[in-house]
Structure 1
Amino acid sequence: MQIQPIQNEYENQIVDLILNIQQKEFNVPITLEDQPDLQDIANFYYKPGGIFLGAFIDEKLVGTIALVKFNAKAGAIRKMFVKKEFRGKEFNIAQQLLEQLVKYSEENGIKDLYLGTVTILQAALRFYERNNFVTIPKETLPVDFPLMKPDNVFCHLKLNP
């Protein structure tokens, strides 16, 4: 497995992976139109100082994670998805994606990571808890946190100084 920064040249694979998981696997009522960031990765993620990582097995995209840097010291984790058949400890893809994103964040002066998700994604919530994220009320999010419409659970991770 290989993890690397990816941009718009992988747009079709990214959209296919993410929409299939959101719509077909978890019935989240979200469309491509609700996620314009997926069609402009360079400007949405990279330009403000974030990153979009892809995990590949045999040159096929099997996982993603992205960071939206929304102020000088904080970022939002987005687009954390791993194809169903590549989930779990056997492959450890989600863990490696998260570790690379945390490393990138620390190297780029980010002190706080936030994320929003939906209640139905219980395995994802357990994964974040195992990685020291703390569930926080929506009201305590930074005012400039980029909210996504379906999200109803929010988490925070304080990074090492």
Structure 2
Amino acid sequence: MAVVLRPFAPGDEDAVIAVILPIQREEFGVAITAADQPDLADIPGWYQVGAGQFWLAELDGRVVGTIALKDIGGGAVALRKMFVRAEARGPGGVAQALLDGALAHARAHGVSAIWLGTTDAFKAAHRFYERNGFSLVEIADLPPAFPRMAVDTRFYRLGL
């Protein structure tokens, strides 16, 4: 099964929410709704500007993952909305394809730093980001334009 990455397009809204919300709410117990995430209501206006983009990962035509880069200025982007359905996780799979695609896009658009926030609960995500060269940073080190979510408690940076 080959992973197909493609940019978000109008009409993908329900597929995006169907991947993200169950992982947030059911798998990790984060009390969050789609309404709590206004970026999901305007993906083109929030992510598909400047050096940003939002991608979907498909296996056999089914959306199984998402990742986004938000341009925050100064040659930096925030990595957001990286989610992969449980059945599509594993070494060298969908998550790596999503991150590799986002990194290639960032480099092609002259990005010098990628910042991200996550929760303490996402232990496998911490290991994944660290394996891919991200370094843990303190909240005080975040750029002023970084779009911090209330649930974010752990932060990373990758220099390109």
State how 1:15-34 maps to structure 2 within 5 Å.
Answer: 15-34=17-36
How far did residue 28 of structure 1 move?
1.0
How many equivalent pairs are there?
A: 158
Q: 2:45 aligns with which of 24, 43, 47?
A: 43
SS at match of 1:46: coil
Amino acid in the other structure paired with 1:17: V
Report the CA distance between 1:72 and its aligned residue: 3.5
- Using the size of structure 2 for normalisation, the TM-score is 0.96
| Counterpart Cα distance in 1 of 2:44 and 2:50 | 9
Superposed counterparts of 1:60-99, under 5 Å: 60-89=62-91, 92-99=93-100
**Contact 2:50 / 2:71 at 8 angstroms: preserved in 1?**
yes
Asked whether the equivalents of residues 72 and 109 of structure 1 are also in contact (C-alpha less than 8 Å), the reply is: no
Aligned to 2:118: 117
Shift of 1:49: 3.3
- CA distance, structure 2, for counterparts of residue 81 and residue 17 of structure 1: 7
Tell me which stretches of 4 or more aligned residues in structure 1 moved more than 6 Å.
none
Gaps of 5+ in 1: none
Which residue of structure 1 aligns with residue 5 of structure 2?
3
Q: Comparing 2-11 with 17-26, which one deviates more in the overlay?
A: 2-11
3-state SS in 2 of match to 1:8 = coil
d(CA) in 2 for partners of 1:144, 1:63: 26
- Residue 152 (structure 2) aligns with: 151
Tell me if the contact between 2:67 and 2:83 (Cα under 8 Å) persists in the aligned partners: yes
Q: Which residue of 2 aligns with 1:106?
A: 107
Query: Unpaired runs of 5+ in structure 2?
Result: none
Structure 2 SS opposite 1:103: helix
